[in-house]
Each structure stands twice: as structure tokens, then as C-alpha cells.
A and B are shown apart, each in its own frame.
Chain A
Amino acid sequence: MLLKEISYVRPHSIDEAVALLNSYPEAGILAGGQSLINVLKMRIGAYSTLVDISALEELKQIRDSAEFISIGAATTYDDIIHSPVVMVSRPILAETAFRIADQQVRNRGTIGGNCCYNDPTCHFPPLLTAMGATMQVYGSDGMREMSAEEFFVGYYQTALASGQILAGIRIPKPKRPYGDAFVPLSVGGTDVLNAVTVTAHVELDEPGTLTAVRVVATGVAPQPLRMTSVEDFVHGQTGQFSDLAGAVATFDMSSLEPPSDVHASGLYRRRMVPVLARRALKMALEQVRRGYRE
């Protein structure tokens, strides 16, 4: 609980935030603080100056457009949960946010912070990867975009360079029937700590075949892991496709070297990937077949 001495500053704009980040050598972003404050309590973080973006309105907007939902990095989980735009266009975001920790954490924790912290148990990195989201990175040289896959590079590692901040996330709005499913295996109780997750996304194209398939596992590799052989197998099948076991069997589980820790052994994690993958695909396919997502 007893933090090291730190400096604090509350910028008025994103430009000022970036400027501050670049002027103080050990400066870091404080967003919801729901991870960072704990890091500071343990005195293991490197930051000595905190640039607090949690009150920056320009980073807290959820915008709707024809192609995308854009979510500002400092948008809280609770705001996502209560966003009509999200509810209509990509409800999985709200459903997943709802499973994070508890009401208090959801009232402060932000989607941007979740991505930048990128703990292997975090909910958003796999989800955004499976949704094909675009990460908007802002630095002194302006805005740059990259895919979620490019962004999440390893345990607690992102592609953000020092002096850059994550400004927002763009999530595509599928124009055809689609399904999104996020299936976590929580250990220690309901929605306590995700040891393994599998997220699945599928779309149904005009001729009635499955496309844009993405299946992403976490808890088994340093970054959200695309199970491409499964994706390939499902791609091009009809909407009635049901050989989930066959699809999942294409993935070489033995190639995984999941970590073993006090939460779960590597072997157990490995065994859980196909189970969750089947379940996630099944849920996503059911949605596709219904033609809508509820």
C-alpha cells in the first residue's frame, strides 16, 4: 500500500499528455489505475511520474460510424457495458467487459489500460485480436494505426514505443451475419482469474459459407494466439458446419508450451484449449445461424 514517492500531473489534452510523457524520463500513463496502482504498491514499476489521462474526455468517447465503433482508450469498462452503440453493434464487448473483476474495478478500469497492461489474464487482448481491431497509437509524430495482433507482442509487452500512448481502438462492424464468443476458463471461482481463454469470430458470406474466421487462445503463449489451422478448416464451410472436434483437431496442441504457475499447470492449460475452442466455435456458429446476435 505504501507507494514510492511519485510525481503526478493531470494533462488537459492528449497532446499535452504526449508532451509530458516525452519530457519526463520516467513518466508513464495512469489510466484507470486498476493495475498500475497495484504495481506501484509493490514498488516494482519503473514510473516516477504519472500522467493521469483518466479524466480526458477526448479519450473517453465511443463513436459509431458505418464501418466501425471507435472506443477511446480511457473509456471505462462500465461505460462500454452501458453503451447503446456497443449493445447494438458489437455486444460481445459489453458481455466480456462485464466479466472483468467487479463493479468497482469496472468503474475505473479502461479498455486502453487493459490492452497496454496486457497481462495474460486480461480480457480484451484476445477479444480485440479475434475481432480484428485496429489500435490507434499516438505519439509526438502523430497517429499511427496497427492491428491488434501487431500490438500485443508478449507477456505484458505491447508495440507501444516510449512516449507513445494508445489513443483509441477501432472495431469493425460486420455487415453480414456473424458470431462472437469469448469462453474463459476461470480458476479460483467464477470470473476470478482466466487461466485459458478461447475467443471465436465467424461471419457468413452471401453464398452461405463461413468466412473471416478467427480463433484466438490465451494463457498458452506469450501473446494472444491465433489458431490458424482451425480458422482455415472452418473457412469456406457452410453455416451448418458442425464438425467442431474435427476443426479443433487440426491444431497441433503439442506445439504449445503453456506456462505452469500456481493457477494452472501447463499441461492442464494445453488440454483446455481444444475444449474451450470447441465451445467458442459452437457459440459463434449458433449466432451466425440465427443471423443475429443477441
Chain B
Amino acid sequence: MSTVFTDNKTDTIRWTGKSIPRKEDDRLLKGQGRFADDIRRHNEAHVYLLRSPYGHARIRSIDVSVANEAPGVIYILTGEEVAVLQKPFMEIAPPPGGLMEDYCLAVGKVHFMGEPVVAILAETEELGRDAADLIEIDYEPLPAVVDGQAALQAGAPLVHEEAGTNVVWHGVYDWGDIEGSIAKADKVVKIDRLHFHRFTSTPIECNAAVVEYYPGSGEYTFWCNNTMPQFAAMFMGPALGIPTDRLHFVTQDIGGSFGNKITTYVYLTICAILAKKSGRPVKWTEYRTDHILGGSHGNERTFSDIVVPVMADGTILGISAAAIDDAGAFPRYEPLGSVIWSQVVPNVYRFRDVRIDFTQVVTNKCPVGPNRGYSRLQHMWMVERVVDIVAQELHLDPVAVRKQNYILPEQMPYETPNGCVYDSGDYPRCLDMALELIDYPKWRERQQTARGTGKIIGIGIGSTLDSGTNNFGQARIINPQLPFSGNGEVSNVKLDLYGEVVVTIGTTPQGQGHETTAAQVVSDILGLHPDQVRVLIGHDNARNVYTGFSGTYASQFAVTGLGAVQGAAEKLRREIVQLAAGVLQADESEIALRDGSAFVQGQEERAIPFIGLANIVFANNATMPPGLDVSLNCTYTYRPPFKVPDVEKKFGNLTLTYSTQIHASVVEVDEETGQTTILDYAAVDDSGRLIHPQIVEGQVHGAAGLGIGAALYEALEYDEEGQLLTSNFYGYKAVTAIDVPMMKTAAIESPSPFSPNGAKGMGEGGGAPLHAICSALQDVMRQKSGAIIKDSYNPSERVYWLLQNAEKSRQGVSVEESGHGL
């Protein structure tokens, strides 16, 4: 496929690559956005969910008799009825994970605090909650398991007895020759444990849905903010025993997702059952506490027995580690995270010998789901921690160690040990730019002058990749039976009756500006101003085209979405040119497009506007030039060039593009309190060709903001009984404007040779702030106690204790001379 950048068929201005005003802004700024909770249907009823107060308990009985008589109550649904009406949701995992039974309401027992137990349908939300207060549930509390490692212990409470284990999935990834590396290394650095904490992006708009059932057609309509509707359909159709074409999803404006709105099919199923039962449109509104308790969390991961063979000059040869990923109570999107991390096995580094023993477990905590940087950021965080710890323990400069080990631009495209192909990039240059932005030498000096003042300055780096456009074939590494591979998005670009240009895509944007960037691409191809292109809002499988992969997730729109838009627009362009050539009696090569007209180049009076072309095809087709077959309604599916990975070797190209994000941070720690303040922050990114630089920069800011929050303030913490202690914004301290610094950004553009437009997926970021802040804190510790930063979450108190007592954190960290083997 040609790229828009080499397209010389139009003489109009090029829109692609410019930061044009966003098409979405006008309505959003006026309060005219249509978010899921803004939808109202005549005669709608409201769903209130009574949730489990326990982390783990058997349900002895549920008494709804009093509630049934309460004012306004229409229907009360419990797990007992659900078990009859619903088949357990499909599981992606083979056994044992595949044996875990997941229903939309708790059946028999509750598995996590916040799990929906009873759904009350009432005339108003308030009456629903009033009735919920009258429901008596007799619980028998059970011991809970809230830690990934504990879940594997013999005798640990089982979250799902039916599976006979808490293990969802286990596999050993082994590439290269880690033993060989260890034998030939000068030094072997060992780290007993690193812990990546549980947090969530928790978008400001919670989940919501209005669901209507049409008995005549057996169809359900879901006005909702699910961000991967056809994935939801794959779960819901079989669960409800209906074909997926009966599930009609409509998304419009979505108030952020960051992956968190992918697994809402569980809630949509409750609504579907109630809509059918009651014959009423039903509305479900989730509030923040519900969302934090029972929405979707980010994966918590514990790495243990980390062994790193290193040469004396700091060259890292490989990493061996065990990873235990805590998926919470139900797998749902999991265990995909158990393979998705392997898109970035060596992160940005050249080491080639890697062994990761990966286990994913269930615990009595909220189920996880994709969360910005999904599954890769945990792994890359571990690699970045390893780099900093190696540097500290071998008395090397962390900047130098990074440069020493970075994959070099001349090695691009670079095949990683597991067959992923890094498309392009220049990591050393990005690092240099980041260091320049913060004025690295200045801070190194200040670090010296700060000594003895009670404030300690630390400088840190986070090097990451944002792998985009998944090859879903990687799911087969988890479960060879899965009929998934490749990826794809589809778009339709058409002329409407009066020549209007209308674009639909299968995606579910949540702020990424798809309407704008799609219009840019179409404008360039059809010779229009973006104002002349209408991109319909959101996903709607009764109106728009879509594929099974449609949605907005996993950093792929610039490639898959815009690839599809480009293909469809080019198809339409060909049809327009053919038709115009026939009408204007010119050669196709003479036809040019500008401002909604086709004309003969050099003789602009020989022209026909789009409205004229549309008229011929749609209302006047007896005048169609003979022999032409055009519809002016063009659909194109973009499919990235993927192969099915080698499941045995766990080898293959798992993602198409790799954006780079290198962050540098400067922090100041108050020695007496552990309070950490960010003094300077820089983010350099390389997202290939930029379609809309301002939108890309906005994504960089946003990912950095969430990462800073997660590094210092935001954590989902459970007690031993499985009580979530941070279930609202009092406990879950979402970062405010005061604590995100005015970060400095810069970008380079290394076009992807593999994508249709040179762009790379981006938007998730690689969690770089977590890495960069941990790295800066390590730099602080290096000057003081020598403590090791072993956790991704470092609130003041943790920093304080690390300064006070390095011993505990240093236990289990050692440097050994070579040749010891594993």
C-alpha cells in the first residue's frame, strides 16, 4: 500500500502531520458530549448492585422477600437465578484457569470485596438502593488469599475450588542460553524480590450502560462505554446462548478508559438479563467506589530469584527470574497478560539470554484487566530496576550502563530473542535529549551542593517501549487451542447522497482524537478540508463497520485504524476518479480532486462536484458512464503482516511497531520525612511519523501523569481479609494538578518501515515514570543508605524507612563472581 506521505495525487494542503483543531472539542467544550450516562430511554428502570462486603465468603442464604415488597422494586436478580440463565463466561486459559467459573453475579460464594451479589431493578436508583438495604445475606466468611506468592502455597485458600488450584496459567519462557551467560559472566547480580504494585488508571468517567431488549428480534442494544465491544460480544453471546449479531453495541463519547473499560461485559450481562426479564430499558450507573472495588485493576506482579549475568564493563548478558502475576479473583482478559509482556522481552537492551518462569494466579481481589502499559510495563519496570541495581552494585554510572546496553539505531530493525522485530528507533539519542532537557550536568552539581541540607537530590531514567498493534496469535502461546491470530481494523469511507464525505471506523476512542486524525488522513487523500469530512462518533455495530479486534486499546489506532481509513479513502478516491474520468471524458490520470470536486488538471472548468458524482450513483444511475462499477461506498480492512507465532518456542513477531519513551526525572527527598518532590521531568518520545503532533504530545503527558501518580501516591491496598482499604478517592489518592510537574517533552520521528503510514502506535506509554522515579530514588539511596528500591510504589513512608534502614532491602541482593550457575 502506498503511504499518504508519498501520495502526490492531490495538490491540496497536506493535513497529515499538522496539529489541526480537534473535531471533538467543540461539543465537549460546550457540554454537548454524549457520554454513556447521558443516555436516557423512555420508561427506563435502574439497576442497583449490592456488592460483597467480604473478600471471600460462602453465601449461605439471600433473603429478598422484604426488598421485593419495597416501593419501586421491579425485579431482584440473584446468583441462583443467574446460574440458570447464564452459562459461565468463556475463559481464555486452558485448564486450570479455564476451569474457573465466572458468572455475572456471585454464585454460591463471593470471591472478592465488591463482587456484585444481588441486582435490584427499580424505578429509580435511590429506590433500588433503599431496597438493597432490606436484603439479608447470610455470609460465612472464609480465609482469604491476597498475595500472589501466598496463593501458590500448599494449603492456601482456593479462590475457585472447581479449578483445584489458584494457578491460572504457568509457563516457562526460555530464549538464548542463560546458563551459558551465567557461566561466562564476570559477575552475577542476584535480587531476591521485586514487587510491582497494584494500581489503576481509573478513568474519571466510570462505567455506565443503558440496555434495551427487543423481544421481536431477540436483539439487545447496549448504549455503553465498553471499549472493546466485539470482545465483549465473544463472551456475552455464548454466555447468554444467543448469536453475537443480536448484541448491538453503541458507544459515543467515552470519558477515558486506559484499558479499564474492556472487561465490563460482566456488568452488561447483568443489564441484559434484567432488560429481558423486565421488558424495560435498564440503566446502570457505576459510581467511583463501585468502580474501584469492582471495575478492573492493573496487574500486580512479583518477581523473584532474579539472576543477572554481567560483564565487568556493565554489559548485561541476560536475565533469569520467576514472575508471579496476581490477576485478582477472575481471569477475564487474562491470562493474556502472561504473554503480552513478552512483546518487550529485553526492553530496549541488547541482552539475549532470558528465562522467565511465569505463573499467573487468582486471589481474593478485584479482577485485573488491561491498564495503560498493560503487562509490558511490569516487565520493563523489572528490567529497569535490574539496570539500576546492577549499576549501583557494580559502582557504575546508570547512564553509562544504559548506553552500554541499548540496542543501537544501526541495528534496526532488530529481532529480539523471542522473534519480535523492533521496527526503528534511536534510544541513545532519545536519552541524550532527555538528559539535555533536564540539564543533567546541572543537577549532578546540585546533587553535590545539596549534601548536608537534609534534602537529597536523585536523578533517574526510565527507558521504555510502547509496543503497538498486537499479533493476537500470541494468545496461542497461552492456549494453543485459541483460534486467534493477526489483527485488523476496518473503515468505511463513502459519499453520502449529496456528496457528503462520511467515515466510520470500528474504534472506541476515549480522548485520542480519532475523528480528527481520521479526517486528516481522508482530507489528504480526497483533497478536502477536514471540516468537510465527517467521522461518525464511536463504535456502533449496526451502523459502522467493525472486526473482531475493533476497539481502542493496545496502542494501535495510528497503525490499524488509520491504516484502514487510508485504505478505504484510497479506494473511494479511485472510484471517484474513475467516475469523474467517465463523466468528464478524460483519462483517469488527468483527474485531480480539490475542495469536494473532481476536475481535469490544467482545465479546471472541466469539473464535477462530489454532489454530482453522488447523484449519478445514488439517484441518477441511468446516466452512469457505461462499464463502470462504483458504489462510492468503500470499505477497507487493514491487516498487519503477521504470522502465527511458534507456540512451542514461544517465538514470533508479537507486535508491529515499537514507540520509544525515554524519561528523565529529578526528585528531591526530604531526609527526615521521606517526602519526595519532583524537581524536573522530561519525556522524549519517538512514535514514528506523527499524524497530529499535539495529540501525541498530549498522550505522552497523560501517560506520564498517571505514571507519576502510580509511582508516588496511588495504590490499591488490601488487608489480609481481602478488604480493599483504598476504595474511594480518600484512600486512592489520584494525583492532583499540584503534583504533576510541567514536564518537558521532545520528539524524534523514526518512521516505522512496517506500518502503512510510518506511524507507530503509542498512547499507553511504557510506564516510564514508574521506572524513572524508582531510578531517581535509587540514586538518592546510593548517596545515603544504599537501600534497594524493590517496589514500584514509593510513598513518603516507604522512602523514609529505606533511608532509615537499608538492611532489610539489601537482604537478598548480592553480587557474586561468575560461574556459579543458577
Contacts and interface: CB of A to CB of B under 8 A. Distances in A.
Do A and B interact directly, with beta carbons closer than 8 Å? yes
Interface of A: 1-5, 43, 185, 187-193, 261-265, 268, 271-272, 275
A188 to B, nearest CB: 3
Contacts of B735: 189
Nearest to A261: B725
Nearest to A262: B725
B731 A262 contact: yes
Contacts of B796: 185, 187
Contacts of A268: 797, 800-801
Contacts of B717: 262
Contact of A264 (B130, B713, B738, B797): B797
Contacts of B712: 189
B38 interface: no
Interface string B553-584: 00000000000000000000000000000000
B123 to A, nearest CB: 13
A5 B129 CA distance: 11
A262 B725 CA distance: 6
A187 B731 contact: no
Nearest to B724: A262
Contact of B733 (A1, A187, A271): A187
Contacts of A261: 725
Given A2-B129, A262-B726, A188 B673 contact: no
Contact of A189 (B125, B725, B731, B733): B733
Given A5-B130, A268-B800, A271-B800, A193 B736 contact: no
A185 B126 contact: no
A6 to B, nearest CB: 11
B5 interface: no
A189 B739 contact: yes
Contacts of A1: 287
Nearest to B804: A271
Contacts of B675: 185
B673 A272 contact: yes
Given A271-B800, A272-B673, A275-B672, A3 B126 contact: yes
A190 B133 contact: no
Interface of B: 48, 125-126, 128-130, 133, 287, 672-673, 675, 712-713, 717, 725-726, 730-731, 733, 735-736, 738-739, 795-797, 800-801
Contacts of A271: 800
Contacts of A263: 731
Nearest to B288: A1
A2 B46 CA distance: 12
> Would you list the 10 A-B pairs with minimal beta carbon distance, nearest first?
A188-B733, A262-B725, A189-B739, A2-B129, A190-B738, A275-B672, A268-B797, A2-B126, A188-B713, A189-B713
DSSP class of A's interface residues: helix, strand, loop or mixed? loop
Given A189-B712, A272-B673, A275-B672, A43 B795 contact: no
Contacts, number: 54
29 contacts: A2-B48, A2-B126, A2-B128, A2-B129, A3-B126, A4-B133, A5-B130, A185-B673, A187-B795, A187-B796, A188-B713, A188-B733, A188-B795, A189-B712, A189-B735, A189-B738, A189-B739, A190-B736, A190-B738, A191-B738, A192-B713, A192-B733, A192-B736, A193-B730, A193-B733, A261-B725, A262-B717, A263-B731, A268-B801
B794 to A, nearest CB: 12
A275 B673 contact: yes
Given A2-B48, A43-B129, A262-B717, 12 more contacts: A2-B126, A2-B129, A4-B133, A185-B673, A188-B713, A189-B713, A192-B713, A261-B725, A262-B725, A262-B731, A268-B801, A272-B673
Contacts of B713: 188-189, 192
Contacts of B133: 4, 43
A122 to B, nearest CB: 13
A4 B736 contact: no
A272 B713 CA distance: 19
Nearest to B285: A1
B563 to A, nearest CB: 40
Contacts of A4: 130, 133
A126 B736 CA distance: 25
A11 B602 CA distance: 82
A187 B731 CA distance: 10
A231 to B, nearest CB: 22
A198 to B, nearest CB: 12
A164 to B, nearest CB: 28
Contacts of B800: 268, 271
Nearest to B709: A189
Contacts of A192: 713, 733, 736
A200 B736 CA distance: 29
Contacts of B797: 187, 264-265, 268
A43 B130 CA distance: 10
A178 B145 CA distance: 55
A275 B674 CA distance: 11
A244 to B, nearest CB: 12
A111 B351 CA distance: 61
A193 B713 CA distance: 11
A185 B800 CA distance: 13
Nearest to A263: B731
Contacts of A43: 129, 133
A51 B796 CA distance: 41
A232 to B, nearest CB: 24
* A4, A43, A262, A268: most-surrounded residue (chain B CB, <10 A): A262
B739 A190 contact: yes
A3 to B, nearest CB: 7
A8 to B, nearest CB: 15
Contacts of A189: 712-713, 733, 735-736, 738-739
Contacts of A262: 717, 725-726, 731
Contacts of B128: 2
A110 to B, nearest CB: 20
B244 to A, nearest CB: 34
